[in-house]
Structure formats: structure tokens, C-alpha cells
Amino acid sequence: MLILSNNEIAEIVHSMIKDKDHKSLVDIMQKLISLDKDRLVGESHVLIDTLKELIHKQQGIIEVDLSSAIPLENYQKEELGEVLKKRYSANEVIFKEIIDKNLIGGFKVEVNNEVIDATLKNKLSKLQERLTSKI
Amino acid sequence: MSHDHIIEKLKKEIENFSISIKSEKIGKVLELFDGIAKISGLSDVKSSEMVTFPNGEVGVVLNLEENNIGAIVLGDFSKIKEGDEVRATGRILEVPVSDAIIGRVVNALGQAIDGKGAIKADKTYPIEKVAPGVVTRQSVDQPVATGIKAIDAIIPVGRGQRELIIGDRQTGKTAIAIDTILNQKGQNMICVYVSIGQKDSKLRKLQVRLEEGGAMAYTVIVSAGASEAAALSYIAPYTGVSIAEYFMDQGKDVLIIYDDLSKHAVAYREISLLLRRPPGREAYPGDVFYLHSRLLERACRRNKDYGGGSITAFPIIETQAGDISAYIPTNVISITDGQIFLETDLFYKGIRPAVNVGSSVSRVGSSAQIKAMKKVAGTLKLDLAQYRELEAFAQFGSDLDESTKNQLERGKRAVELLKQPQYTPVKTEHQVVSMYALTKGFMDNVPVEKIKEFEVGLMEYSEQNAKAFYKEITENKMWSEKGEEALKQAINDFKNNFLAKAESRI
């Protein structure tokens, strides 16, 4: 029996829906939904996530989780977006803003399992680590 | 130090403090159950790498899957929540080691649990290490004196050997291990006792016993108790052998006891099944052989060019109803260099240690035996083998010829001589003397029930009256004709006296 991993299925679906018109897209989607109902496709939520990632990758979009203690100004976000675009060679940055008072100050950026933590909370905990490790 | 001084120092520390903000790879806890964490992200993590959870708990990555990884949490997993950030460390799990660890009781992570404060460590050793290669090794040629007559004579163990102790529950497996540790006093040996899934009460008793015997001065106890997570039981033997390697790297000889590996296999089975690895025979995962082989391969004797030192391993396996053909026993038997079989029947017959000398073997140890012991043990082995063969016939009737009768009598005395109560290790030279007396027929006319008494008396008497013999054994490892004459004389003198006394009492 041929076993396809979720990643492989997502890639197949992706190549199928690439460059298709509206009508055939609908057909493919209906087929997939019926397959999912018959439990012929594995975990569909994983599939959808992977598919989304694939499409984003192709179009050069990155999703960024931006956490900060207070909301960032628009110009700040734009500046950050430019930096991130360069770093990840992307065309577009989608911010998902999270406000977390516990961070005290600064901001934290999460992209594809990578974290850039520039919050005050992180600095303080690093300082604590260093001071306690010396004893 | 005044308060101001501390504050000044702190201020300075804080002033100098700077961090560079870097991007870090993190993962998130997807789910957590029974000490197993499924983590998303961490795409660059390696197998058996250490990961850290927010509250300082550590985990070890065991499964690498397409979209997530499976890690075991070492320690308390009740504070870890779904969605917690997990950081990779880029290192495999390490334990702190130092000379100060001797005499202490530590857990599977190398932290002190005996309430005597933290152990100052100057180094850390990774728990998984590739065993020393072929060129660094040397064959076994130095004995480990266990102080147990049956073992030292018939199943001798050498430094760097792996000798399995196998038997049902309550047959004295741990007792042999403890006696061996107790006998290492002054033998230039460091002992590591790894307790896996044992009752804490048992461990405490053992620790007290070792302290009483002065054995904690050269012993480390590594414990993963029955109440702790299976993950800790799984890594405890590796922790133990890493500590042993630390001492071996200093050129020392180390003795390590794994008590017991059947519980270790069970802990690993639990982890594997929780990680959804496919079960095999007896529901153990496919790599359960490698689990023990890589552990026991780390026991070795290194040659001088590579710093010398050795690790002698005594793995213990508990069998169920004497079934040594179960999966784990057969695996470990095939890995080790011999086994000491303990049997329930013998134990209840009063033959203690309940070693079955017929099916116990030591594949490499005989080359480590001293010459004198080799000489007496050879005859003893033969006597015992003949006795076992004749024992069955002897029950049918008394119609036996003289030589058969003699052999039976000799065998009975040999069995009696090998009996030894717990915590009474016997010195090698004493063992040689008593076995010499037996195999040369000096004990043949001593009543069987008096053998014990005779032996004790003989040891005392001969030590006083056959000093030449003892001197030769300790210095040259073999007796000369002169020493032998002195011993014969001493034995005869003592025996005549002993028998006369016994008669007069009647």
C-alpha cells in the first residue's frame, strides 16, 4: 500500500489547483470534501495548514505573530515589515498582533518557528539567569 | 561582606550586562500526556537532543516526525501547558560529574537527593556516548574479587567484564551485588550502583548497609525510584555509566551495577508505546536489544596508551518463574560475557548464595584468576560436576562402589563449602586455603555438618601457622612446594585437633 504523508498530499493538491479556473477549482474542492468525509484523507486541518504554507511560500507571503505590551504605531510596523521582508526575502508581510501586558515593554516577532525576542521581560529573565549562575 | 559591597557588585554586574538579540528556533507544546510532549516547530532539532521547557524542566527528543517531534519530559511535567515555548539546546543530555560525587546518592539527572546539599561539579558528561573502540581496548586480566567463594572460584569476573546476575525475585541478586561492593574496600575500585524502578525503602536499606560497611567512601548511588517518571528510569543507567566513565577517564577501575535491567526495559517499553512506536515481541519496541547492547558495550578495559582504567558491569535481570528464555533475559545473556544463575529451589534448600554453578558461566574471567585459585578451582569444578551427575543415581539405592561413594561425599562437602551467609566476604587467600583443603581430600573425614565450623577454624589456624603459604599467595599469586608443605602440615595439625575435640564433646 502506498502511504502518502500529509505534506505530500498537500503538495499534490497544490499542484492540482495551481493555474486552474474557478469552475475546476470548485470541482476539485468538492472532490476533496467528499474524500475527507469518507475518511480517505488524513487529518484535514493539518492538510489545510500545510496547503496554506505552500501557497504563501509560492506567493512570497510571510505570516508574522507580533506580540507587544502596547500596540505598535503604523510607521513602526511598516519599518519592521521592511526589515522582515529583507530577512526572509518575502514580498508581503501579514501581521497578527497580540497584546500581552506581561511582556512589560518591547516586542516579540515570530516567523515560521523562529523567534526574535526583544521584550523587556526576556532581557530581565536573561539578566536573572546570569546573576544567579554566577553564585 | 557588607550590604553596600554586594549592591556595588550587583550594580557593576548589571552595568556590564548586555544581550544581543538573536533569532531563536522555538517550538510549541502541541499536547502533553504521561510525560510525553508532542512539540511543533523545532525543525532543526536532532534526535536525542536536549530541549528546555519554560519552567526549567528538560526533555529529550526521541521521535522526529514530519510536522512535530516527540520528546520525553524528565521530571515534573505537571506545570507544562499546551502552547508553552520549547527551546532546543543543541546539546545532548548531560550529567554533572566530579570527584565530590563519591559517597552521594543522586537522581537520574545527577542531582543530589540525599539531603547533603548540592554537589559541586566541574564537568559535565553526555549520557549517550559511543563505546570505546577496538584499538583502545585490552583483554581482561585483572580479577574483581567479589568475596563470594562460589563466584570467585567457579565463575570468576575480571575487570572490564560484563557479568549478568539473573534469577527470580527473592533469590539474592541484589545481595550478591552488595556483597561485591562491600568487598571492594581497599581494592582500588569505585562502585556505582544504579537503582532502576526500585522501592525507595529498599534503596534506603541498601544505603544504610553500605554506610555501615564503610562502602559509601567509594560508592555512588544513582537512583530512579518507582515513583518517578518512566523517562528517568530509562536514562538512569546511562547516567550511571557516564559517571563511571568520568572515573575511568582518570585511569581508575570502576564497578557498575544495574539493578535491574528488566525494569529498565519495561520503562523503555512504556515510553516507546506512548510515543506510538510499533510494538514487537512481548510488546517491547524493535530497538530494545540496542538499548542494552549500547549500554553494556560501554563497560570495557582500556589499554595503557589510552589512559587505562576499566568499567566492570554487573547487570541484573529478574526472571519470571525461572523463565530465562523470555525476550529480555535472552538478549542480555547474549550481550554479556557470562551469567550468574540464581535459583529459587537452591535458595530454599539452604544453598546460599543460590548460585547454580552448572549453568553459570564466565566467558572471559578465568584469564583474570590468580594462578593458585585457578589450580584449586579446576579440581573443585570437576568434583561438583561429577557430584551433580551422580546425585540423581545416588537416590536409588546404596549399592554403590567405593569410589562413587567417595565422589558423592566429596561433592556434598564442596556444596557445603560454597555456602556463605550474606555480608561475610572471604579474602582470596582464605578461599584458596579452604578449597585446597577440600580438593586435596583433607575434609573427606570431617562430617558434612561440621564443614562450616572446620573452615572457619582452619582459616584462623592456618593464618597463624602457615604464614609462608599466605605470603606466597599474596606476593606471587601461587604457592611453592615449601609453602604447600607448611599448609599441609597446618591443615593436618588442625584437623587432628578438631576431630579429637569433636569426639571428646560426644
SS (H, E, C) B300-359: CEECHHHCCCEEEEEEEEECCCCCCCCHHHHHHHHHCCEEEEECHHHHHHCCCCCECCCC
Using the beta-carbon criterion (under 8 Å), do B41 and A113 form an inter-chain contact?
yes
Residue owning grid cell 585437633: B497
Active site residues of B: 363
Using the beta-carbon criterion (under 8 Å), do B25 and A118 form an inter-chain contact?
no
**Shortest distance, CA B351 to any CA of chain A (angstroms):** 56
For every one of its 506 residues, what pLDDT tens digit does chain B have, with 9 covering 90 and above?
578 888 888 888 888 877 777 788 889 999 999 899 999 988 889 988 999 998 889 999 999 988 889 999 998 888 999 989 899 888 999 999 999 999 999 999 999 999 999 999 889 999 999 999 999 999 999 999 999 999 999 999 999 999 999 999 999 999 999 999 999 999 999 999 999 999 999 999 999 999 999 999 999 999 999 999 999 999 999 999 999 999 999 999 999 999 999 999 999 999 999 999 999 999 999 999 999 999 999 999 999 999 999 999 999 999 999 999 999 999 999 999 999 999 999 999 999 999 998 889 999 988 899 999 999 998 898 889 889 888 877 777 667 788 888 888 999 999 999 999 999 999 999 999 999 999 999 999 999 999 999 999 999 999 998 888 999 998 999 999 999 999 999 999 999 999 998 888 76
B23 CB within 8 Å of a chain A CB: yes
Chain A residues touching residue B17 (CB < 8 angstroms): 127, 130
Using the beta-carbon criterion (under 8 Å), do A116 and B21 form an inter-chain contact?
yes
Q: B312 - beta bridge partners?
A: B255
For residue B401, the model assigns a pLDDT of 85
Return residues 89-118 of A near B (CB < 8 Å): 110, 113-118
Comparing CB atoms, the residue among B27, B42, B66 nearest residue A5 is: B66
Q: Taking the domains of chain A in order of start, what are their residue ranges?
A: 6-58, 60-132
A5 CB within 8 Å of a chain B CB: yes
B43 CB within 8 Å of a chain A CB: yes
DSSP for B257-270, written as a single string: EEETHHHHHHHHHH
* φ/ψ of residue A127, rounded to 5: -65, -40
DSSP 8-state class, residue B66: S
For residue B242, the model assigns a pLDDT of 96
Comparing CB atoms, the residue among A7, A46, A114 nearest residue B25 is: A114
A34 CB within 8 Å of a chain B CB: no
ipTM (interface predicted TM): 0.77
B118 CB within 8 Å of a chain A CB: no
Q: B302 - beta bridge partners?
A: B137
Side-chain-side CA neighbours of B170 within 13 Å: the count stands at 4
Cell of B285: 519496541
Using the beta-carbon criterion (under 8 Å), do A114 and B85 form an inter-chain contact?
no
Task: Report pTM.
Answer: 0.89
Closest CA to B188 of B152, B142, B227: B142
d(CA B334, CA B357): 19
B19 CB within 8 Å of a chain A CB: yes
Using the beta-carbon criterion (under 8 Å), do B26 and A115 form an inter-chain contact?
yes
